Structure 1
Amino acid sequence: MRYAIYFCPANDTALGQLGRDWLAASTDAPELPGISMERRDALLANARRYGWHATIRAPFTLAADVVYDDVRRAVAAVARDCASFELSLRIERLASFLALRPGVDGAAPQKLAATCLEALEPLRASRPNAAQDRRGASLDAAELVLLQRYGYPYVLDRYRFHFTLSAPATESEEQVMRQWLEPRVAELPLTRVDALSICHEAAPGDAFELLERIPLCAPGMDRTS
């Protein structure tokens, strides 16, 4: 079993609705001209499995003596100390895939992710073979160091707040997806990152499920500054 800490927008928000529409099951999924249903499902498969979210702490396995209540207490402590914040979102290519990214890279997402990373690190099972597991991933020297230290390379200064929209696609496929997404993303109000969601993967390959959504503290109450 693995746990992850995400920002999952509430269902009654515009961003939550966008995610439900975009990642809907095959029969309800958006029509993408020129992209077959099978290809669309392949492009969205991982995004559907991991759920509509922005990663705060990437999936990790608990150490042998750690239980869920330990995770919950650690996340609740982070939430008490970190204030909610707002950001705008836009479509970008991140590495090789389409994603929703902040219009401006601010300090708030980075600080929240770093605080959560350090708070949960004592609860994580070590991964002595992490570098071997990531062979072929084209990591640079700094990312390899982070991988060995935290079990995941895209943390701290390599962290990028984002919502994954699809797997790597061809240029023409990206254009079709953008045609559906861009007018809807343009209509989004500012997104308030207002909670940390604890999600889990019961068995390898299973879809991640939301266990609990823990609100961040109100703006002005941040104790990490």
Structure 2
Amino acid sequence: MKVHRLALYWAPEPDDPLHAAGSAWLGRDAGTGAALAQPALPGHDIAEITADPRGYGLHATLKPPFRPLHGYAAARDAAAALVARLAPFDLPPLAVHDLDGFLALRETIPCPPLHRFAEACVEALDAHRAPPTEAEIARRRPERLTVAQRMNLERWGYPYVFGEWRFHVTLTRRLTAEEKEAALPAVTRFLGTAPSRPRRVAALSIFVQPGPGEPFTIAERLPLGG
């Protein structure tokens, strides 16, 4: 498979109510690539405020998007070898939060296995990551990053890994106070009880981007424990 970029994400299973509800909120199913009707958000353009996360699909980032250095098959084999030695674990209930101006689903209690999962993904696939270009580095605005984040950017190609990583399922772009006042209760109502339901992290999802600017879709779900 020839891809422009791939990423390692957590995504709800297809039969998880969160997959259907979250995908409808964003307006696209990352599993099928199909466009979905979005709920109304009176006074605001829901398609516009969800445009950025819609392109990436409903997910939480484990290893951020990267250009595969040795091709998709080699990266996929490395991911398969990784998940074969990882055991499934319980994900805490999720809830909608304001994350630095973005609305996102976050875990409601700490989950150390989740952090170990993300760290393992970053490390295990790093040999398959092509180095970022100068333009890609500049887009991260390194002058605004902390020392730790700049070091991560230089070493891992992304600022928000390891100690800087926070689990989040992005639901909007960064919002104004007025937009947040409308969107926060709206998305909370729309998702209902789906985020807080018990669920297992039992698979790693490989998302792929066929070409620059194109939306990401789920290429494979690799089960933990083989």
Q: TM-score, normalised by structure 2?
A: 0.87
Root mean square deviation of aligned Cα: 1.9
Deviations 1:163-183 (A, max 9, x none): 001001122221222222223
1:115 to 2:124 alignment: no
CA distance in 1, matches of 2:46, 2:24: 14
CA distance in 1, matches of 2:191, 2:225: 27
Aligned partners of 1:89 and 1:191 also within 8 Å: no
- In the alignment, what sits opposite 2:32? none
1:22 to 2:20 alignment: no
Deviations 1:72-109 (A, max 9, x none): 11111221122222221011111221100000122111
The runs of 5 or more residues in structure 2 that have no matched partner are 29-34
- Determine which of 107, 110, 115 is the counterpart of 1:102: 107
Distance 1:156 1:136, change over 3 A: closer
Give the AA of the match of 1:30. P
Aligned partners of 2:103 and 2:170 also within 8 Å: yes
Give the superposition deviation at 1:34.
Answer: 1.8
- In the alignment, what sits opposite 2:60? 54
- Determine which of 212, 218, 221 is the counterpart of 2:220: 212
Deviations 1:124-183 (A, max 9, x none): 112263543422672111100000001100000111111001001122221222222223
Give the superposition deviation at 1:123.
Answer: 0.8
Give the superposition deviation at 1:190.
Answer: 1.8
CA distance in 1, matches of 2:121, 2:53: 22
Distance 1:152 1:136, change over 3 A: closer
Identity, % of aligned pairs? Answer: 35
CA distance in 1, matches of 2:157, 2:20: 32
1:3 to 2:12 alignment: no
Aligned partners of 1:99 and 1:163 also within 8 Å: yes
Distance 1:33 1:137, change over 3 A: farther
The runs of 5 or more residues in structure 1 that have no matched partner are 219-225
Distance 1:48 1:122, change over 3 A: same
Q: TM-score, normalised by structure 1?
A: 0.88
- SS of the equivalent of 1:28 reads coil
Give the AA of the match of 1:135. R
Distance 1:166 1:134, change over 3 A: same
- SS of the equivalent of 2:49 reads helix
Give the superposition deviation at 1:7.
Answer: 1.1
CA distance in 1, matches of 2:191, 2:6: 29
Aligned partners of 1:15 and 1:191 also within 8 Å: no
- Determine which of 57, 70, 73 is the counterpart of 1:69: 73
Please give the residue correspondences for 1:186-225 in structure 2 after superposition, counting only pairs within 5 Å.
186-188=192-194, 189-217=197-225
**How many residue pairs end up in the alignment?**
213
Give the AA of the match of 2:130. A
CA distance in 1, matches of 2:88, 2:209: 26
Please give the residue correspondences for 1:147-158 in structure 2 after superposition, counting only pairs within 5 Å.
147-158=153-164
1:89 to 2:98 alignment: no
- In the alignment, what sits opposite 1:78? 82
Instruction: Please identify, of 54-63 and 21-30, the stretch whose mean Cα deviation from structure 2 is larger.
Output: 21-30
Aligned partners of 1:62 and 1:123 also within 8 Å: yes
Give the AA of the match of 2:101. S
Aligned partners of 2:105 and 2:170 also within 8 Å: yes
